[in-house]
Homo-oligomer: A and B are copies of this chain.
Amino acid sequence: MQSRLASSNFKLTRVGVTGVKKLVHVKRPNKKLVIPLVVTMDLFVDLPAHQKGSHMSRNLELVSEIIDSTVQAPVTDLESFCAKTAELLLQKHEYATCSEVKAEADYFLDVTYPSGKNGSEPYKLVAEARANNNGELRKLIGVQVIGMTACPCAMEVVRTLDPTQQTSATPTHNQRNIGTLMIEVPRGTKVVDADDLIAIIEQSFSSPTYSILKRKEEAELVITAHKKPKFVEDVVRDMLTRVLSTYTDLPDEVCVVARSESEESIHKHNAFAERVTTLGELRQ
């Protein structure tokens, strides 16, 4: 029935399913452990004017088959999982000219706490892939990281107002900041490791944050953050600087999105900064 002529013959940009939850197993080439990811996915193809409906059940069959196959051979990363899905979507929907897959998942990274003990911190992975029937395939990996920013502006004015506040760590408002960094992974290049993106973001905050901090470590983190005050604009620019120095091998056309959103402690609204660009633009 979905193959019949549509009553009004408009083509559609994206047709598919959203909010699909699946358990996907990932195994990085350089690591021992298989990482389980609870993935929420959106899957789309375009629809030509003459086709009434998209066979959406095929999307789910496809995802199920790919996941089954990864029990034997886990995918190396979430963006490859998206890319493989996008390519097969095009095969299954023979009328489609392009496909799109988005995925996000909670992710845990082993960290060493300031105390020297080991533990894990929570992050979010985001991945996307787009394929078209000219054989083009683009994929993107990104991470969302929670950290801390301390405001340089209020700090400077506090120093002006209060002559006793001439120390390096002057009080200011600080707050939870959500940093996002996404980068395209071109075909044939080696994997961009999500763990490296997390490191880039955490270095670009006033300070990373930890679930476990002894009292002394908490105070030291506060001092460190106050010695490195940052606007959301600074967080984004510092991410971009690190992206440039880290990914020297990647070509100019690679897309980069860097974002910082700060849950301002002195306001009820958030502060926000973003750059959407390519490595080529950044290199100029």
Contact = CB atoms under 8 A, between A and B. Distances in A.
Interface of A: 1-2, 6-23, 36, 38, 42, 44, 47, 52-54, 56-57, 60-61, 64, 67, 106, 108, 117, 119-122, 146, 148, 151-154, 156-158, 160-162, 164-165, 167, 169-176, 207, 209-216, 218-223, 225-226, 231-234, 236-238, 240-241, 261, 263-277, 282
Given A19-B270, A54-B273, A213-B266, 17 more contacts: A8-B237, A12-B236, A12-B273, A18-B271, A38-B106, A52-B234, A53-B153, A60-B269, A64-B211, A151-B218, A157-B218, A158-B169, A162-B223, A171-B226, A172-B222, A175-B176, A209-B264
Contacts of A117: 64
Contacts of A12: 233, 236-237, 273-275
Classify the interface of chain A: helix, strand, loop or mixed.
mixed
B18 A270 contact: yes
A111 to B, nearest CB: 11
Contacts of A153: 1-2, 53, 215, 218
B222 A171 contact: yes
Which 4 residue pairs of A and B lie closest in terms of their CB atoms, listed nearest first? A157-B219, A21-B122, A36-B36, A146-B268
A15 B219 CA distance: 22
B265 A211 contact: no
B18 A267 contact: no
B162 A240 contact: no
B173 A170 contact: no
Copies assembled: 4
A19 B269 contact: yes
B277 A13 contact: yes
B233 A175 contact: no
Nearest to A282: B10
Contacts of A11: 275
Given A14-B273, A16-B272, A20-B211, A1 B152 contact: yes
A59 B36 CA distance: 25
B10 A161 contact: no
A12 B272 CA distance: 11
Contact of A158 (B64, B219, B240): B219
Given A17-B272, A64-B119, A148 B172 contact: no
B60 A268 contact: no
